[in-house]
Amino acid sequence: MVDSLGVLQRDAPPSITDYQLRNGLPMVSDTTKAVWTPEQLREQSEEAGKNLVAACLEFEKMLDELPTLIRSEEDQTNRLKDFQSQNENQTHLLKQKIDLAEDYLQIVSNSIEDITNNRLQVRHQSKKK
């Protein structure tokens, strides 16, 4: 960061005040005009205060979350083992549900086949008569 700032300063064109000082030009400052009215200052200060409070609250929130992010290697390993066991349990439950669904599918398929066969037998018998 320091190196890049130094480069920026080195490569930047001279400011107006530098130019005026080098060439002996008088410095012009217009202090007769007010930049902001008191009402604008009050509104901007209120808005700036709200923004500062919001930024501080966000910063505190991030600081509160920081201890959960910084863990020792052993804590991280234990946490990964917990996640792995939860994953294995969920995988086992999903396999059970898939097996149950396959059984239901087989029952429905057999039932449809039986209905189709019965229907065909009824049609075949009715054509013989």
In a domain, 103, yes or no: yes
Three-state secondary structure call for residue 39: helix
Tens of each residue's pLDDT in the chain, 129 residues: 445 545 556 666 666 655 556 666 555 555 555 566 778 788 888 888 899 999 999 999 888 877 666 677 888 889 899 999 999 999 999 999 999 999 999 999 999 999 998 888 877 777 766
| pLDDT value, residue 107 | 95
In a domain, 126, yes or no: yes
In a domain, 111, yes or no: yes
pLDDT tens for each residue of 32-47: 555 667 787 888 888 8
| pLDDT value, residue 108 | 95
In a domain, 56, yes or no: no
| pLDDT value, residue 2 | 47
| pLDDT value, residue 20 | 57
| pLDDT value, residue 1 | 43
The DSSP code sequence of 65-80 is HHHHH---HHHHHHHH
pLDDT tens for each residue of 98-117: 999 999 999 999 999 999 98
Measured distance CA(81)–CA(104) in Å, rounded: 35
In a domain, 32, yes or no: no
Measured distance CA(62)–CA(52) in Å, rounded: 15
In a domain, 29, yes or no: no
In a domain, 107, yes or no: yes
Please count the structural domains in the chain. 1
What DSSP state is assigned to residue 29? -
Model confidence, pTM: 0.39
In a domain, 36, yes or no: no
Domain carrying residue 117: 83-129
| pLDDT value, residue 123 | 77
